[in-house]
Every structure is written in structure tokens, then in C-alpha cells.
Amino acid sequence: MSVLGPSGCGKTTLIKCVAGMIRPDEGEIRIGGKVVNEAPIQSRDIGYVFQEIALFPHKSVYENVSYGPTVKGWEVARTRHLVEEILDMMRLRDRAGDYPERLSGGARQKAAVARALVSGSLLLLLDEPLGALDARVRAVLRHELRGLVKDLGLTAIHVTHDQEEAMAISDRVVVMRAGRIVEAGAPMELYLRPREIFTANFLGEANFMEGRVLDVTQKGSLLEVDRWRLQTTSRERAKGKRIVAAVRPESISMEEYRGRRAGKWEGRIEGEVFVGSAVRYEVRIGNGKVLAVKHPITFGEPEFHMGDRVGLTLPPQHVLVYDYPEGGIEAEVSLE
């Protein structure tokens, strides 16, 4: 499970409460069904991996990984067997005699994970453990971490502000804001069908449009947004209800303008940014509003350019509908 949210929202405080580093003012923390509010850190059977890769600089990889069992007084033979097993699993056996300063960032973080696991912890707490690594190493290591957690049958709570990381490795994502859980669910569910405007904005990107429900039929609802008509499969809001409609940029299809046609919005491209496998366009539509549209690059060259007149289709099944928030859209999507 990944805990995702903007900086300062309480992610690290949450897992430090679970770890026993911070005592919560109220409520209960249960690990394996047992209340652990009063339990000391060392008796909670957890492994904790810090963002700072807090290895002992004066100890080798082997000495770092074996530290927990050693201070607990485990038998030498048992300790050696477990440490060698976990070093093999992390592909660190050949680096067992090296000191942290001789390791790459990825190898140091692997050693930190190995140290957290060697004592037999079933709960692994990861506090932005990949944040200090470069993008390529982070992408590789996060999948290795997921595989390790699955292979060992662990429960892992992973704190991060990296949306891609959380979506890629998690079975479940918790979105936090200002010390509260906004929403929780499977990654794809949260991305495609978020129940809250904040989640729709924080996970990825969305175009938000104010409007109202014009009609409700068996097929869905007809909306009026920013003086345009928009169809959606949602039927949850009553006729006349003030709403906010949201559409992801990659859900909007764009084509060369071929005149006014039913169900098509028209606009002109005012901005373009290359974002890898797609180009993110800013398209100003007839009512003056600018929509973000991500269009895939199919044959090596972008199909559209600045100034092009285009037609847009917003598929009804991808149009999300929310009640209009009392404080307005800006307050609802604020990271504060």
C-alpha cells in the first residue's frame, strides 16, 4: 500500500506513528490485530527504511545487515544463515565486505532494505526510500522491491510523493491531504474513477469545467459546461444540479478540423510540449477556455502543430461528474 500526497500532508507522521516513533494523540494502531500504541519500537516487529539511506558508515554491508540480529543476541550461525540468504536475495553477496561509501545509491538502499528485513519483520515501512536515487535506478529498484515484498509475503506501507511510483507498484493507494485521508482504492480505480475532485487533480491531470445538468436519460446525462453541451454516462445528479465535469487530457481525441459536426468541439492549438510518447497540447475552444489534450505520437512525428484548427471529441464514458464544491474548484484542488 502506498500513501500518496503533497509535501507536508502527514505521510511520514502517519508511518512514524505506526513505527512507534511518534505517539498519536488519539485512536488505535493495530498490527496483526494487536493494539500497539504503548508497545516500544523494538517489540513491534517492523522494518523501517528511511529516505536518507541511514547505514552505519563505519560498518561493512554484512555488518550493517546483521546489526539487528546481533544486538538481539541471536546465535551466530543463525544470524549468518539469514544474512547470507537476504544478501543473495538482494544480489549483494559480492558486496558484503564493502563499506557504504563504495556503493552506488541503489546498492546502499538495497542494503538498507536487507537490514530492515533480516530480523523477520512482516511489516515493512518505506519512507520515500527511492527519493534520493536517479530516475533510472529508481524505476528498476521499485519493481525489485515489489517483487521482494510479494515473494516474502510481507505487508508494506510505502510513503511517496511520486505518483507514477505509487501507481506502478501498489495494490492499494491512499491519497492524503492536510492530515486526512481523502480517498483510498486500487491504483487504476483511483485514476479512472476518482470519487473526489482533489484525487482527480492530484493523480495525473484533469480538465475541470463548471456547469449544470440539462437532462437525465437512460443512457446518461446531458451537461451544459462553459456554454458547451457535453454528454456523460453518469446519471447520479438530478436535472438542474450544479456540477463540475472532469476529463483527463489523454481521454480527449483530437483530429483535423472538418467543419462543425454534432458531438465535436472545435478549437485552435495555442501550446505544445513533448512529453515522451505523446505531445501535450493546449487547445483554446470557442468559449475561450483552454483544454489540455495529450495526443500520442504514432509515426515518429507529431500530427498537429501550433496554430492548427482541430476538432475534439470528449467520450461520454470518460467524463467524470462531481457536485460543485461549496468553496469552489480552486479551493478543492489546492494542495494546502
Q: What is the pLDDT of residues 300-312, one digit of tens each?
A: 677 898 999 999 9
Domain with residue 37: its CATH number is 3.40.50.300
Q: Is residue 176 part of a domain?
A: no
Q: 133 and 279: one domain?
A: no
Q: What is residue 178's DSSP assignment?
A: T
Segment 224-238 mean pLDDT: 90
**Domain for residue 163, yes or no?**
yes
Q: What does the pLDDT look like over 82-127, one tens digit per residue? A: 898 888 888 888 999 999 999 888 888 888 888 888 877 889 998 8
Q: Do both 18 and 109 map to the same domain?
A: yes
The span from the CA of 67 to the CA of 70, in Å, is 5
Contact of 187 with 166, CB cutoff 8 Å:
yes
What sign for the dihedral angle of Cα 53, 57, 62, 65? negative
**CATH number for the domain that contains residue 282:** 2.40.50.140
In tens, the pLDDT along 142-175 reads 888 888 888 888 899 999 888 888 998 999 999 9
What average pLDDT does this structure show over 238-264?
Answer: 90
Q: Sorting pLDDT into bands at 50, 70 and 90, what band is 42?
A: confident
What percent of the residues of the chain are helix, what percent strand, and what percent coil, each to the nearest 5?
Answer: 30, 30, 40
* DSSP designation for 324: P
> Does the residue 70 lie in any domain?
yes
* Domain endpoint, select from 153, 171, 189: 171
Which residue range is the domain that position 267 belongs to? 253-313
